[in-house]
Amino acid sequence: MLPPVPGLDASAHVLTSTDLIDLDHLPKRLAVLGGGYVGVEFASMYAQFGSAVTVLDAGPRILPREDEDVAAAVTGILRDAGVEFVPGVRVTAVRDIDNGVELSYEADGRTHTLAADELLVATGRVPATEGLRLDRAGVRTTASGSIEVDEYLRTSQPHIYAVGDVNGGPQFTYISLDDSRIVADQLTGGGRRSTLDRKFVPYTVFTSPALSRAGLTEREAVERGLPVKVSRKAVADIAGMPRAKIVGETRGLMKFVVDSVTDEVLGAALLSVDSQELINVVALAMRHGVTASELRDAIYTHPSSTEAFNEVLAAPPARRA
């Protein structure tokens, strides 16, 4: 999805995330438009490759769906890797220059320019349904172009199903896999699987280290009026997690949001080595009602990243920001 910025469509140096994966050269200077998950992942990746990366975002900070302390931790790690951040940006024009591209933008009430070799536009994706003439088949779409489906992924024509990103669900590979299982169950099974079965679906933002999350953020839990207790610790301070020191990756933090009355795990944000694996354990525990105390007191292999749960969940509740 390209925003309506003059010159953006015409530039030979404007890339999508797919284009950037296929790029056969390393840009010395990479500008990233958008501070969401895709923009942050590629900023982290290309900074490690050696590019000078600048992230321009319309919002006041990156990763707006995450808690402020978690987003700040990611920002700090990326800044240490050399990534520059420019918040509150409105891009007004894009034009190609010799060996690159120049962006004009407004920020802090002033007009600025930024030159780069390539520009990654990471401002979201839309379903590629335009031109399919779905109306001829009687298949309804939403205003965004996604195909309307019910909990069994049936379209407005009951014999036609829509799976994957095109149906407007979460844009994850593993959601597409589960979509296929739901449809297979409709066609050859008992017809009981549905999207309503999906609870506490985890996700990972593959920065270095990766940020993985499941359930509610602290902000969401407070807004719902839930009695919240937060257990949080910097990875470097977790004595019972030697694996982080063994592999030389002690950056990040672990944060659990817990119902202070029921001891239910409401959510977790893990910015750490192995977080993409750890979050699956947490999400499974949440789906099956395993309490924070049970996660805290479980026996884990050593040395592993999972044993950090023994210490983090035993930490005194963190003061809410």
CB count within 10 Å of CB 88 equals 15
Contacts of 74 (CB under 8 A, 6+ apart): 40, 62, 63, 66, 205, 207, 211, 271
**Which residues 6+ apart lie within 8 Å of 101 measured at CB?**
11, 13, 14, 31, 94, 95, 115, 116, 117, 118, 119
3-state secondary structure of 320: coil
- 215's tokens: 């359930």
Backbone angles phi, psi at 284, to 5 degrees: -65, -45
Residue 12's Cβ-count burial label (10 Å; 0-12, 13-18, 19+) is: exposed
Residue 230, number of CB atoms within 10 A of its CB: 22
Alpha-carbon torsion angle 302, 305, 311, 312, nearest 10: -170
Active-site entry in 13, 112, 159, 302: 302
Annotated catalytic, 302? yes
Angle between helix axes 37-49 and 68-80 (nearest 10 degrees) is: 20
Question: Among 176, 122, 124, which Cα is nearest to 145's?
Answer: 124
* Euclidean distance between CA atoms 37 and 259, whole angstroms: 27
Phi-psi region of 251 (alpha: psi -120 to 50; beta: other; left: phi over 0): beta
Which residue from 250, 226, 222, 267 is spatially nearest to 308, judged by alpha carbons?
250
Residues in the chain: 321
Residue 233: name the closest of 295, 312, 296, 293 by CA: 312
Q: Please give the positions annotated as active site.
A: 302
